[in-house]
Amino acid sequence: MTRTAHLGIEPLLDRFAGARIVVLGDVMLDEYWWGRVERISPEAPVPVVAVERQESKLGGAANVAQNVRSLGGMVTTLGIIGADRAGEAVCTRLSEQGLDTAGLVVDCQRPTTVKTRIVAHNQQVVRADFETAAEIDAVTSDQIAAMCQAALADGAAGLVISDYGKGVVNRRLLEQVIGAARAQGRFIVVDPKDTHFSSYRRVTTLTPNHHEAGFVAGRRIRDEESLRAVGFDLLRQLEADSLLITRGEKGMALFEPIGDGRLTTIPTVARHVYDVTGAGDTVVAVLAMSLAVGGTMLQAAYTANVAAGEVIKELGTAQTTVDAIRRALAEIPEPVLSEIT
């Protein structure tokens, strides 16, 4: 058992400003319709929501990019939008955050992915998704890969792949961008989708939740023994530099191929959980920023754990800042990390 002094991450936070990251993946728009329920519909046994206001936020890879920007980073965002109102809204919101939209390819044959959540009395009633999850064609895939390679060659520290299974990330694209990043000595952080796991080979780290990791490994994570078996099995299969399994209220588990294998469990620091939407986006953004400024994988994971504890206090996709992470560090006790080799 190792007691940390917050793993010395304060100096890392000092260097976040200006770090350059490429974010590639499924760009989305998250819509929220807020209202109240006062009656049940006479047409069906469902609540009638009287909508009082609407708002939209960036989602998916766009939210990852926004998280990097809120931490002081510079971002190249690569993905697909449709020639529609939602695509325009994504571009507007990215621009408002000082983020370039040149890397967003407009595909007239598919809509911008939109998740519309109807919320009444701060409780989500239903979600409607507008999307086409078919894979993008080879020409578009190659176009995105070429932009990614150029951004990495132009000085970006690393690549984040945000895979929500909406069609942008495919085997062809993964082979190209992972190969390019490794050839240029850049790190690769993946927020994975189970359908593509076999293609995430030789990346720096992946961040599946415990349900996803167990499903891919063919074994449900029920206890520490099954956690260890699943984590090291995936680490070996993918030949990854590390694997970070997020475990909800149990925190995170970091697997590294050090010696015969090292597992470090990181307890959660969240005291108030309001909404976990977008927490994974924050995790990969903070991991990337930490690695970009020279942090170890353990430092990056610990910082991401603290940051995730901040964003789940809010309803909907949210972002955190360096100052918010500093305040959180000042308020939480130094944890005891369990290291098992």
Active site (catalytic) residues: 281
State how far the alpha carbon of 291 is from the alpha carbons of 154, 189, 304, in Å.
18, 9, 11
Tell me 197's DSSP state. Answer: G
Q: Cα separation of 252 and 267, whole Å?
A: 7
Partnered with residue 209 across adjacent β-strands are 246
Of 115, 181, 107, residue with least CA distance to 316: 115
Pull the structure tokens for residue 208: 């599946």
Helix and strand totals (H; E) in the chain: 10, 15
Given a contact cutoff of 8 angstroms between Cβ atoms, the answer to whether 59 and 93 are in contact is no
List the strands of the sheet with 336-340, edge to edge.
2-3, 336-340, 262-266, 252-256, 243-246
Q: Cα separation of 169 and 221, whole Å?
A: 27
Pull the structure tokens for residue 154: 């132009």
Measured in whole angstroms, the distance separating CA 70 from the mean position of its chain's CA atoms is: 14
Burial class (CB in 10 A: 0-12, 13-18, 19+), 222: exposed
Containing H/E element for 35?
strand 27-40
3-state helix, strand, coil in the chain (%, to 5): 40, 30, 35
Burial class (CB in 10 A: 0-12, 13-18, 19+), 164: buried
